[in-house]
Structure 1
């Protein structure tokens, strides 16, 4: 006798066989495996394979018995659903951006196919391969000539040209790996392929350089040039949806501008206390010139870490495990890296940005002023404990599978949130100079919203972003250039810089609902936040408030009144 099992029953059994946590861990590993197997990011084959995988995983979620899950599992379901949808939207956006670069890449498909055939262990025929390389070389020479002549055939935007140049450089690396796989093992391969490969390797290098020089207008040797790749309003709306932020890009800018005005007003109050009336920029100059002597910054940072740990423990604000408190390390940042990260960084360790003897006098003074005592005092809280170091410690030990749901609103928002708390907490002793230092960072985060979102909307150029930081925030020009380079060079998500202030505002609003309104102990609030691991803040809110959830959940929390 065959027992009938309803589709619902099958779904329940499937859910029992693989928990949502198991599914997330498997999906994460599968996705990592696929991306490693097909590493050429602009490959159509890679995009298609990822699209099929993500779509299949997303469709399979629809069969699961959502209403039978406990709240934590419901949140995990929504997190993985949001993650899959975001990855799919990202693929489509990348495809649209790559399409704009195709006039500069008529040879790319052939070379990508060669690399991927190697990964798939498809037999390689040296004579045919040599012919493909020869034809690709001819196509490349044609592109080089058109670029030099500024032909209409290669008339693309600077952004598309910069993207094409990066793809060419990446393709050159992958093709080199392909060549090394075969050379020396197959005598006929070297006989046929070695020479055309050498020619095409050089042409790839030349083409990338020519595109940057002529179409992107980056002079040779100017590796510090800032270009960036704006994603447009539609791209920003998709990113906001993925971050569960129910605001438009224009509203996000408005939040940044309102917070900016608040900071300026508070700057003037501190400036008056220092005897500079409303001229807060003069007060800022005094603060920036209050730095320790060369060689003493490491001692200052160490003492500030101890001060921060003592404060949160003495006032029972958050749990600080002994290993997290005792095992942090300090390293120095190279002059080259300081071009991108002009201030010190934190997390697993703290990386101190400070002048070296190899820098010229101007660079030394900018670094000293940019890492003064009062800026550093706020930064240590942000970077170490209770900020990123404690975050990462807890992330590794509580629901670590959620780290795949990485978001700057949770990561950076948490650290800036503590700067909010310290500003309000009279137990944290603050001189007017300390207040200027704290306010400068807050003003800086407001400016990050304004310039990064406007850049992606196409309203501000990189130079205008730098000028905003120098003229309206009081940055040293070198640190402003580093900040903009870091923000726009593509290593960070488009909303990363906005995530600091917006995430902090979200967490502060949630604290108001839980601690101030409902009486949750402050330490419990902070511990629960950290132990929940990474996710959009609205999902943290849903967990803490045990809110009703459905598979069709849409973000609606207006955490900041406009």
Structure 2
């Protein structure tokens, strides 16, 4: 992958091509100046960027023979303490690796059982749950053509606008900023992950959901849950509302010091589940399977992350458990972060159930969502305090 960065000529490098395309958009720049700037960009890539990449490749090639197969933090002195720190940092809980591993195993079993039931209703009984997922993905593929690319983006747009309409029943506070969907530029498709970018604080740019239209993503399977996760009622609702919240200091509105993955990713995963609970997949069992598969992926992360860093799992064990090699590499170098998603979702559900039990007929889902989103992105213990304070006030 690193060598791919220097595979093209400097003139065909994505940096230079993108720069040239953007120069063409600025009509005020004279043609001779545009040509000069284009040539300078090509010289910079040729004389500075490519040599730096070649040096980096040489270093990696020298290090490669010394690299070991062991992947987890456990192999280092005080590795267990380091992993405990990372788990605390990313999940904002005091759960041990063993506890998180067990939660993951329980969630995997629950979700696979639900999926197996739906698969059987559809007459899909051959193979493991994982085998049937892969078969369904292939059956629901878009053609990898320009027409296929247009179709998937049209479907994304339809899903997004439908989710905005449906969310009116679940939320009484929504962002002022709109959200749009667009594909990644071609040169970024191979390695980019679907993502959400917040709107401009001054309203000059909407929230943006970007999707890479490479082979793995060119399927209807899981598309709806992905849109819900990244846009409405997921990241767009959460992060745009945080930016627009005048009760928060500016540094929190713009997340100057980053966010809290346990709540930011936990909310987005909760949003996927909320859509399923609210009947958005009625008459769409394949879509519901896509939602469950996304949740299964996050449950497996709990097992694999703790397996690698606390239970001496090898990289291959993680892959055999159903995680893509590129994802495994991410967990190796980013210990603990992958556990934030599901633990955050489970905490929100736990607090919602507590609110329902405490308030009974006075429980209002819209108000609960206001409490969860109203104070911005918080550690989970502070979120619990917010909910507890709300419940005390409502119970008087």
User: Does the alignment reach a TM-score above 0.5?
Assistant: yes
Structure 2 match to 1:212:
63
1:26-58 superposed Cα distances (whole Å, 9 cap, x missing partner) = xxxxxxxxxxxxxxxxxxxxxxxxxxxxxxxxx
- Contact 1:510/1:541 (<8 A) preserved: yes
- Shift in alpha-carbon separation, 1:425–1:203, aligned structure 2, 3 A: closer
> SS in structure 1 opposite 2:244?
coil
1:1-22 superposed Cα distances (whole Å, 9 cap, x missing partner) = xxxxxxxxxxxxxxxxxxxxxx
Out of 242, 245, 251, the residue aligned to residue 93 of structure 2 is: 245
1:217-237 superposed Cα distances (whole Å, 9 cap, x missing partner) = 79xxxxxxx968667322222
Structure 2 match to 1:269:
117
Structure 2 match to 1:534:
377
- Shift in alpha-carbon separation, 1:205–1:540, aligned structure 2, 3 A: closer
- Structure 1 CA distance, aligned partners of 2:180 and 2:53? 45
Structure 2 match to 1:320:
174
- Contact 1:347/1:384 (<8 A) preserved: no
The CA RMSD measured in Å over matched residues stands at 3.0
Matches within 5 A, 1:363-442: 364=215, 367=216, 370-398=217-245, 399=248, 400-402=250-252, 403=255, 404=257, 406-426=259-279, 428-442=281-295
- Shift in alpha-carbon separation, 1:375–1:205, aligned structure 2, 3 A: closer
- Shift in alpha-carbon separation, 1:371–1:460, aligned structure 2, 3 A: farther
- Structure 1 CA distance, aligned partners of 2:273 and 2:60? 46
Matches within 5 A, 1:283-302: 283-284=132-133, 285-293=135-143, 294-295=148-149, 296-302=151-157
Out of 305, 326, 330, the residue aligned to residue 482 of structure 1 is: 326
Gaps of 5+ in 2: 1-51, 199-207, 391-396
> SS in structure 1 opposite 2:173?
coil
- Contact 2:209/2:230 (<8 A) preserved: yes
- Structure 1 CA distance, aligned partners of 2:262 and 2:273? 15
1:177-220 superposed Cα distances (whole Å, 9 cap, x missing partner) = xxxxxxxxxxxxxxxxxxxxxxxx999868733542221279xx
- Structure 1 CA distance, aligned partners of 2:187 and 2:384? 42
1:345 correspondence with 2:204: no
1:376 deviation in Å?
0.5
1:485-508 superposed Cα distances (whole Å, 9 cap, x missing partner) = 333344xxx222111111000001
1:523 correspondence with 2:366: yes
- Structure 2 CA distance, aligned partners of 1:240 and 1:418? 23
TM-score (norm 1): 0.50
1:428 deviation in Å?
4.4
1:539 deviation in Å?
0.5
1:327 deviation in Å?
4.2
> SS in structure 2 opposite 1:328?
strand
> SS in structure 2 opposite 1:351?
strand
1:377 deviation in Å?
0.7
- Contact 1:388/1:415 (<8 A) preserved: yes
- Shift in alpha-carbon separation, 1:496–1:338, aligned structure 2, 3 A: farther
- Structure 2 CA distance, aligned partners of 1:488 and 1:516? 40
Q: Which has the larger Rg?
A: 1
1:263-322 superposed Cα distances (whole Å, 9 cap, x missing partner) = 111011101111123744454212442023322221111111111111111x1435223x
